[in-house]
Structure 1
Amino acid sequence: MRRLMIADSSDIVRTVAKRILSELGFMVAETSSDQQALRACSADMPDVLIVDAHLEGALELITAVRALEGSERVRIYYCLIEGDLKKMMAGKRAGADDFLLKPFDRKILSAVFGTAARVA
């Protein structure tokens, strides 16, 4: 089972995403701060990391995770509420692999992550 971490300050977003992604076959961890996420990644690097752009220290978190040993295998999604090119480029420069737009729902998460949970 692939491991996914959600770093988002919103309890509701984390709860909804965790429920949907768990149903898709991921083992989901959640954090509400950049420091919690960095500690968790340092201890056990997930396969997928979703970082909300509005999380305090989001870009610094992505950069710090990329500096950790084993980070080459984590796929990092930078989560935005709009397709803002400037923010997307900042996320890419920090080390994000891809983007996820909010608000997301079951259909969107299934399309993005549906087969990824079971791929070793």
Structure 2
Amino acid sequence: MRVLVVEDSERLRKAVARALRRCGYVVEEADNGEDGLWRAEEHAYDAVVLDLMLPKLDGLEVLARLRNGGKRVPVLLLTARNTVEDRVAGLRGGADDYLGKPFALEELLARVDAMCRRHFDHPATVIHAGDLEIDTDARRARRGGDRLELTAREYRLLQVLALQPGKVLSRTELEEHLYDDLAPPMSNVVDATVYQLRRKLAAAGSGRPLIHTRRGQGYVLEELP
């Protein structure tokens, strides 16, 4: 999952970004509204954590421009102005959720995770695909009852594919879920990660192939008859 954090307080922004990265999210950061809006318009994110009081362009204006431009990315608003009127203004402006400052990082992580699942029309915390089971809360995967020992990158890629079963995802689309702006992409990382995932999936459960290649298009997760 790829998340954009737009917050002008460096201390808070870094704390939120670290917490998200520890949970396996790919995170990009912006410290003002203009940069945050540009990033959100130019790149694909699964969620945006957006402060209301930002320099250059405030959070409500960023949110309005995103929605007016057709961007449906889930947005969690952060603000110290935690009145009913502020919450109503944010939600009516197109926000998906609202969190007042100060907040517990655990609550923010839970809200971001829930937004991402709803974004993929999968509100449940457990994803099933054949005999594959992914627990998004524990960030663990099992196949046929056998636990899969996955790296953070393998887990992220498997989760993205499982949240969109039957949909072919290109290498470029998958790369967006594996890298943030601090790590330049490696040319063969998607192919290498898929190769390792296939080996681990084949060694567990029924062993039937789940990840399939669509030549010239990308990869898809589905259980074929």
Normalising TM by the smaller chain, what interval? 0.7 to 0.9
Match of 2:10 in 1: 11
Letter in 2 for 1:62: L
Which runs of structure 2 are paired with 1:30-49 in the superposition (5 Å)? Answer: 30-49=29-48
1:9 aligns to what SS in structure 2? coil
Q: Is the 8 A contact 2:82 2:101 kept in 1?
A: no
Q: What root-mean-square deviation, in Å, do the aligned CA atoms of Structure 1 and Structure 2 show?
A: 2.0
| Residue 63, structure 1, aligned to residue 64, structure 2 | yes
Q: Percent identity?
A: 26
Structure 1 CA distance, aligned partners of 2:33 and 2:113?
A: 26
Q: Is the 8 A contact 1:18 1:28 kept in 2?
A: yes
Distance (whole Å) between structure 2 residues aligned to residue 67 and residue 103 of structure 1: 30
How far apart in 1 are the matches of 2:109 and 2:76? 15
Distance in 1, matches of 2:40 and 2:110, equals: 25
From the superposition, tell whether residues 96 and 114 of structure 1 become closer, same or farther in structure 2 (CA, over 3 Å): closer
Partner of 1:107: 106
Q: Cα–Cα, structure 1 residues 13 and 37, in superposed 2: closer, same or farther, change >3 Å?
A: same
Structure 1 Cα separation of the partners of residues 47 and 113 of structure 2: 13
- 1:67: Cα distance to partner? 2.2
TM-score by length of 2: 0.47
Structure 1 stretches of at least 4 aligned residues deviating more than 4 Å after TM superposition? 114-119
Q: For residue 86 of structure 1, what is the aligned residue in structure 2?
A: 85
Shift of 1:11: 0.3
Q: Distance in 2 between matches of 1:78 and 1:106?
A: 14
Native 8 Å contact 1:21 1:28 kept in 2: yes
Structure 1 residues 114 and 61: CA distance shift in structure 2, 3 A: closer
Alpha-carbon displacement from aligned partner over 1:20-55 (angstroms, at most 9, x marks no partner) = 011111111110111101111111031111111222
How many pairs were matched up? 117
The SS at the match of 2:50 is: strand
3-state SS, counterpart of residue 91 of structure 1: helix
Structure 2 residues not aligned, in runs of 5+: 117-135, 137-158, 164-225
CA separation of 1:17/1:93 partners in 2, compared to 1, >3 Å: closer, same or farther?
same
The residue that corresponds to 2:23 in the other structure is 24
Deviates more, 1:77-86 or 1:16-25: 77-86
CA distance in 1, matches of 2:26, 2:69: 21
User: For the Cα contact (< 8 Å) 2:76–2:112, is it kept in 1?
Assistant: no
Distance 1:114 1:24, change over 3 A: farther
